[in-house]
Chains A and B, each alone.
Chain A
Amino acid sequence: MPVDLARPVLDPTFGDPVARDLAKATAHGDKALLRRVAADTDDPDRRSFLLGVAVDHPGRPEWIVRWPDEEPEEALAHFVRGAHGILWAWEARGNARAGMTSEEQFREFHQRLAGAERDLVRAAVLAPDDPEPRVQLLTTARGLQLGTQELCHRFAKATARHPWHYRAHTLMLQGVAPKWSGSSALMFNFARSRAAEAPVGSAVASLVVEAHIETWVDEPDDETGYLAAPDVQRELRAVAARLKEAPDTPAALRAANLLAFTFALGGDDEAAAEQFRAIGSHVTESPWQYLARDVVTSFTKYRDRALNPA
């Protein structure tokens, strides 16, 4: 079997031509394509992916700040400022955990996030059938520490509009993880019940993998061998089986990255190799950022080991 050793690239657009054009246009404040994509993309997961690319810009672009003032009745304007506000808030937080950040950083984080919440609530009111603002409100609920019950409530509202919304599920999983406002029991119950009910091929099945990674993060010592435990590996294989026929979407590629990671760290290079082949060059930030070295280096190390066994 020919081994694809294409250079891995961390590309939020996954090489998708529409996503690339959208990233380029929004980088200099051109909203025309964004409007078209938001109006014409029918698949909610693809739409969620494209809107995510459109707001993924560092700092606080002027056009994003101004847009809702220019068009106060345009839901997309409020959504974009809110969704970008979340990224901007995490920029202030410096990607460290709450206990490690300084007081001012945390205040700034909180302030930006509260602004994002206001924008997203406004967008949700203006676009009552759109799951997207409600999906993003899961992140503000988590960051603003509005409580576990409120988080569950918001998840129910988001998925009432699209039951298998992938981003809604991964954001909810972060929220119910022990490090935020959840617990191990809640996180696994959530991941397993949603994965079991999801249609075969839906990336939602990979929630279980994510839950195991969250558990491993709290004891990332290789010696403990959490990911190598037979019952963990068995469940990972169950997920892989469900995702075998998954279409080639950003969500499925992220799921493959999660599986490759857990198989590789758990010592099953054969199962990992299958995932690495499906991934090709499309490395994702999560979960490789949990390792000490940079994402591409870590990914390459484990991929080479899995695809070219000594």
Chain B
Amino acid sequence: MASSRRAGAGLLGLRALLGAVLLLGFYVLAAVLVVLVVGGIVGIALAFTLIFHVTGGFVFWFLIGTTGGGLALLRGAFGRMRAGRDGPGGLAVSETVQPRLWAEVRELAAEVGAPAPRVIRIAPDANAAVHQRVRLFGLVRGRVTLVVGMALLNGLDRAELRAVLAHEFGHISGGDTRLGPLVYRSQSRLVRTIAALHTSGKGLDLFLARIVGLYLRLCLRVTAAVSRAQERAADASAARVAGPETTAAALTAVGMASELFASFTNQYVVRLWQAGRYPDDLYGGLRKFTLAAFAEGGLEQLRQRVLAAPSERWDTHPSVSERLALLAEMPASTKETVPDVPARGLLENPDKLERTISLALARDVTGLPEPAAVDWDAAAEIYGRTVTRSGARLADAGVRVGGRWDEPGFDQALEMLAAGRGAELAAALHPKGAAALDAEDERRTLHRALVAALPGVLVAEHGARWKTSWTAVVEIEWAGTPITDLADMALVGPDGVAVLRAELGRPAVDLTPVPPLEEPAHAG
């Protein structure tokens, strides 16, 4: 341990230098470029004055106006940066409210030789991070904040959480987070400057953007290597505390928790937000979704995907497989094993905390001050709307082809099928129109549209119900003939349509074209 501290201290000066040099270097570059640009313009104006013996003032202003005179570069390099964008998010929890989580965190910080955090925040997602405020280019230690994601606490067991926390504290015991934000900020500054130059769009500014872009690539090349070395060092400190096997398990588990949370949110939560609602049991849903994925064998595929994720050239993290290989080379742990219980068990009153976080997240995403809570049963009705909307395609095609504005499109579609005009209907449903359809395409198109349209009819008129499904988002609870059978029936000609109409209680409709207008008899 002592040797690694010394190595860390040896690197410290180098990194401080690096951070400062990169940022200052950019200011020098920006200043030189602006001087060159303005100098060039003054030169042209002077030359104009000397050659034509008239004042070159207007030439100077003309050139400043058309080229922008490097103003966008000045603004990007020296303008105010918006504060608070890269600060930690989440909900702060005090030691009195969450004593066991705090005790665990303190213990691990002490074990890794890092200062205990002053603030712990619980974020909604599946990440963990340590932030340290930077003063004087990172030479003075600032306040430490730990951010832990609620989805992480749900996806990891306690031993894995210990490994993750040890990893994060490994970053500050090595001293590198003090410089991390500085390096990060100087890079944001460069990215922002390039964006400002592109927005201006003037020829000179686009040229300047290329120069700054080259400089950014240089910075990334230097700092990415540093970041990746830091990551490996933090893994080593996690392995010392939690054992290499647990650290390896935690690494995969974090990747999986993150993927699961993202796909759960996309499939189950975004639609509720769009409807101005939020799930009051967000993480209960996440747990059920995870269990269902486990039962279906989906977790193993996910694990393979996480392991296979490559490390990109500019990525600040080495790939998961690279890190696992390094951990496998370490001697096995001699530490006593921590009981295999969910990390969430460290929280007092976890249900209430989860609800608070779900609400805060929904406010943040929707911008609504008071989104309405919805439980998973009631959410089914909102998911059902999406199915109903896609089912409306059949009704729309029915109205368009059937030609009646005052009859339900669904009934007109059935009438078309009964009359053997399925091809016209399919052409109206298919994005490519009639040209691309053979008989098999036609049948498939119609069948798919019927399967999408029938649930809406069954729910609206036949007491069927939407039910949340942890594998398919939403399914229909319906005791009658299965929907695919109903759709098959509609496709076997007039007799099948008649049976379907009887089962659904739908009338036949008259699609005879309305005759042209006749002149009134008395008009002659």
A: residues with CB less than 8 A from B are 147-150, 152, 155-156, 172, 176, 181-183, 185-186, 188-190, 192-193, 195-196, 200, 205, 208, 231, 234-235, 237-239, 241-242, 244
Contact = CB atoms under 8 A, between A and B. Distances in A.
For the complex of A and B, 3 pairs with smallest distance between CB atoms: A185-B403, A241-B523, A192-B514
Interface of B: 392-393, 395-396, 398-406, 408-409, 428, 513-520, 523
Given A149-B392, A195-B517, A241-B519, 20 more contacts: A147-B396, A149-B395, A149-B409, A152-B406, A152-B409, A172-B405, A182-B400, A183-B403, A186-B405, A190-B405, A192-B514, A231-B516, A234-B516, A235-B516, A238-B516, A238-B518, A241-B523, A242-B517, A242-B520, A244-B523
Nearest to A192: B514
A244 B519 CA distance: 12
Contacts of A231: 516
Contacts of A183: 400-401, 403, 428
A189 B509 CA distance: 14
B242 to A, nearest CB: 50
A189 B519 contact: no
A23 to B, nearest CB: 34
Nearest to A209: B517
A239 B523 CA distance: 11
A189 B399 contact: no
A192 B395 CA distance: 22
Kindly name the residue among B400, B409, B519 whose own CB sees the greatest number of chain A CB atoms within 10 A: B400
B412 to A, nearest CB: 10
A220 B393 CA distance: 31
Contacts of A147: 392-393, 395-396
Contacts of A192: 514-517
Nearest to B394: A149
A288 B365 CA distance: 49
A231 B400 CA distance: 24
A152 B408 CA distance: 9
A196 B398 CA distance: 24
Nearest to B512: A189
B54 to A, nearest CB: 44
Contacts of B406: 152, 156
Contact of B405 (A155, A208, A239): A155
A196 B401 contact: no
A273 B374 CA distance: 66
21 contacts: A147-B396, A149-B395, A149-B396, A152-B405, A172-B405, A181-B400, A183-B400, A183-B401, A185-B402, A186-B399, A186-B400, A188-B513, A189-B514, A192-B514, A196-B517, A234-B519, A237-B519, A238-B519, A241-B519, A241-B523, A244-B523
Instruction: Select the residue from A147, A181, A235, A238 with max chain B CB neighbours within 10 A.
Output: A147
Contacts of B519: 234, 237-238, 241
Contact of B513 (A156, A189, A208, A234): A189
Contact of B404 (A155, A189, A238): A189
> Which of B392, B406, B514, B518 has most A Cβ within 10 Å?
B514
Contacts of B405: 152, 155, 172, 176, 186, 189-190
B409 A148 contact: yes
A218 B408 CA distance: 28
Nearest to B408: A149
Nearest to B410: A149
B403 A189 contact: yes
A234 B519 CA distance: 8
A120 to B, nearest CB: 19
Contacts of A196: 514, 517
A234 B513 CA distance: 18
A208 B517 contact: yes
B396 A181 contact: yes
User: Which of B396, B404, B515 has most A Cβ within 10 Å?
Assistant: B396
Contacts of A238: 516-520
Nearest to B516: A235
A182 B405 CA distance: 10
Contacts of B514: 188-189, 192-193, 196
A150 B520 CA distance: 34
A107 to B, nearest CB: 18
Given A176-B405, A205-B517, A237-B519, A150 B400 contact: no
A148 B396 contact: yes
Contact of A185 (B408, B513, B518, B523): B513
The winner among B392, B399, B402, B404 for most chain A CB atoms within 10 A is B399
A187 to B, nearest CB: 8
B517 A148 contact: no
B396 A241 contact: no
Contacts of B395: 147-149
A244 B522 CA distance: 12
A73 B518 CA distance: 48
Contacts of B392: 147, 149-150
A175 to B, nearest CB: 9
Contacts of B517: 192, 195-196, 205, 208, 235, 238-239, 242
Contacts of B398: 149
Contacts of A148: 395-396, 399-400, 409
A200 B408 CA distance: 29
Nearest to B401: A183
A190 B399 CA distance: 11
Contact of A200 (B393, B515, B520): B520
A111 B516 CA distance: 40
Contacts of B518: 238
B123 to A, nearest CB: 31
Contacts of B403: 183, 185-186, 188-189
From B392, B403, B405, B518, residue with most partner A Cβ within 10 Å: B405
A149 B399 CA distance: 7
A242 B219 CA distance: 80
Contacts of A150: 392
A198 to B, nearest CB: 10
Nearest to A186: B403
Contacts of A241: 519-520, 523
Contacts of A186: 399-400, 402-405
A194 to B, nearest CB: 9
A48 B420 CA distance: 44
A77 to B, nearest CB: 23
B184 to A, nearest CB: 33
Contacts of A208: 516-517
Nearest to B398: A149
B403 to A, nearest CB: 4
A237 B398 CA distance: 32
Contacts of B520: 200, 238, 241-242
Contacts of B393: 147
Nearest to A156: B406
A237 B516 CA distance: 12
Contacts of B404: 186, 189
A182 B403 CA distance: 8
Nearest to B515: A192
